[in-house]
Amino acid sequence: LALYFQSGEREEKCIIEDVPSDTLVIGNYKVQRWDIHKQEFLESAPGLGMFVTVTTPDGEVLLSKLYGPQGTFSFTSYLSGEHAICFQSNSTRLVAFAGSKLRIHLDIRVGEHFLDESVVQAKDKVNEVNIRLEHLIEQIHHISKEQNYEREREEKFRKTSEETNSNILWWAVVQTGILISIGIWQIKSLRDFFISKKLV
């Protein structure tokens, strides 16, 4: 696991994944805790776990589980949109502990299934090609799903732009109408006022 970032002990860090519906998302993580005495990150801290929470675009919780210091989680989205994958350690120590931090290694894969290489190599040549072709077909289906989702988003975007355009036009007309009618009202009101005060 290559990439890592720092996090406070009780801090929640979230990653956003914008995925189409029916997409499998697999995540791999490893967490290490800073040891004050040894002044380095422990390879495996006993009892350290990670709460992984996945939220759908509607705010519904799709996955909420406690994993160990190292783990793999996966979920399949049933809605299209921005899913939030949040990590929080189960550390119950008080936040006042100065210098305590966590290092979280993370790797997230979207739309891919594990290709079991050992199965591929065990069979003969024809089946190897078969399996790779199946994997390819699966990936192409994912591309197609992503493109459909992109089309949906672009449509929403276009609707927003057109709505803005017609909003501006409508408000301009309404405001001109208000301006004219208020102007007329002002003049009328003042004229009546001056007449009643016998100044005109």
Partner 1 sequence: AVLLALLALRAGGTELTFELPDSAKQCFHQELERGLKFTLDYQVITGGHYDVDCYVEDPNGRTIYKETKKQYDSFPHHTEVKGVYTFCFSNEFSTFSHKTVYFDFQVGDEPPILPDMSNRVTALTQMESACVTIHEALNTVIDSQTHYRLREAQDRSRAEDLNGRVSYWSVGETLILFVVSIGQVMLLKSFFTEKRPGSSRAGT
Please give the helix or strand (H or E) that residue 83 lies within, else none.
Answer: strand 81-89
- The pair of structure tokens assigned to 17 is 């994944």
Instruction: Candidates 65, 173, 186, 195: give the one binding partner 1 (CB under 8 A).
Output: 186
CB 130 within 8 A of CB 161: no
CA distance linking residue 66 with residue 188, whole number of Å: 73
Residues 7-66 that bind partner 1 (CB under 8 A): 13-18, 28
Residue nearer to partner 1 on the CB measure, 22 or 138: 138
For 191, other C-beta atoms within 10 Å of its C-beta total 11
When asked if residue 5 is in the footprint of partner 1 (CB under 8 A), the reply is yes
Residue nearer to partner 1 on the CB measure, 93 or 95: 95
- The pair of structure tokens assigned to 10 is 């009780």
- The pair of structure tokens assigned to 78 is 């049933």
When asked if residue 168 is in the footprint of partner 1 (CB under 8 A), the reply is yes
Residue nearer to partner 1 on the CB measure, 5 or 78: 5
Residue nearer to partner 1 on the CB measure, 76 or 167: 167
Q: How far is the CB of 96 from partner 1 (least distance, A)?
A: 21
Residues 108-167 that bind partner 1 (CB under 8 A): 108-109, 112, 114-117, 129, 132, 136, 139-140, 143, 146-147, 150, 153-154, 156-157, 160-161, 163-164, 167
Sign of CA dihedral 5, 55, 63, 79: negative
Q: How far is the CB of 60 from partner 1 (least distance, A)?
A: 19
Per-residue DSSP letters for 135-197?
A: HHHHHHHHHHHHHHHHHHHHHHHHHHHHHHHHHHHHHHHHHHHHHHHHHHHHHHHHHHHHHHT
> Which residues in this chain contact partner 1 in the complex, by CB under 8 A?
1-6, 13-18, 28, 106-109, 112, 114-117, 129, 132, 136, 139-140, 143, 146-147, 150, 153-154, 156-157, 160-161, 163-164, 167-168, 171, 174-175, 178-179, 182-183, 185-186, 189-190, 193-194, 197-199
